[in-house]
Amino acid sequence: SDLQKQEEHGELLQPLVFVSLVLCSVLLYFKVSLMDPGFVKAEEEAGTSEEQSMVLLQVPSNIKMRRCGYCMVKQPMRAKHCQLCQHCVRRYDHHCPWIENCVGENNHPLFIVYLSLQLVVLLWGGHVAWSGLYFEQSWNWLRHNIFLLVSFILIVIFTIVVLLLLMSHLYLISCNTTTWEFMSHHRIAYLRHSELENPFDQGVVLNLWRFFC
C-alpha cells in the first residue's frame, strides 16, 4: 500500500517525530502549570540553604528575614508572596499567565525545558508553513493561501516571543538571579544592602550546574 511504501522510504519518520514533539510539549505544559512551583508551607520554617548562608555573611545583621503579611509564613530568602496564587513561592521568578501558575524553585527548570521544546516545535512548524508557500501577486492566490499565510505569520510572532523569553531566562539563570530580583533589586532588602552586586552569583558554569542539576 502507499502507507507501507512511505514507511519504507522513511517518509513517515518526520511527521511522527513532529507529532511526538508536539505531544511532549503539551504534556510538559500541563506538568509545569499543574505542579507545585515551590509553595512555602505553613508548617515549614524558613530553612537556610548553603547558598543563603553565604549571602547572609554579606548582608548587615539588622536585615532580618520577614514574615509574610498575607499568609503569615516566615519567608525563606528569595521567596515572594504571589497575589494570584495566594501563596509564598520559594525562589520566586514570576507568575506566568501563559501557564496560569508561578514559576519558582520546583518548576523553573521544567519551564525552561518546555520553552526550549516549544521553540523547536515552532521553528519546525514555521519551516513547514514556509515550504508550502509560493508567492503570486493575485487575489486568487491570496484567497487560496490566506490560511497558510496567516498561520506562518502567527508562528513567526510566537517564535520571536518564545525565543526572547528563553534567552532572557537563560541569561538570568547564568547570573543566578530571578526575574523578580532583576526587576526589583532596589526594593529587596537583602540585595539592596548586600556588599556585592549579586551575592548569589557563583560563576556561569556553577550557576547553570546548580540550576539544572
Q: What is the pLDDT of residues 147-187, one digit of tens each?
A: 777 888 899 999 999 999 999 999 999 999 999 999 988 88
Residue 67 has a pLDDT of 80
| Cα–Cα distance, 103 to 178 (Å, whole number) | 10
Q: Which residue has the higher pLDDT, 117 or 134?
A: 117
Residue 128 has a pLDDT of 82
Question: Catalytic pick from 68, 82, 96, 102?
Answer: 96
As a whole number, the mean pLDDT across the chain is: 82
Q: Which residue has the higher pLDDT, 15 or 175?
A: 175
pTM of structure: 0.81
Catalytic, 102? Answer no
Q: In sequence order, what are the residues at sequence separation of 6 or more whose Cβ sits closer than 8 angstroms to the Cβ of residue 207? A: 173, 174, 175, 176, 201
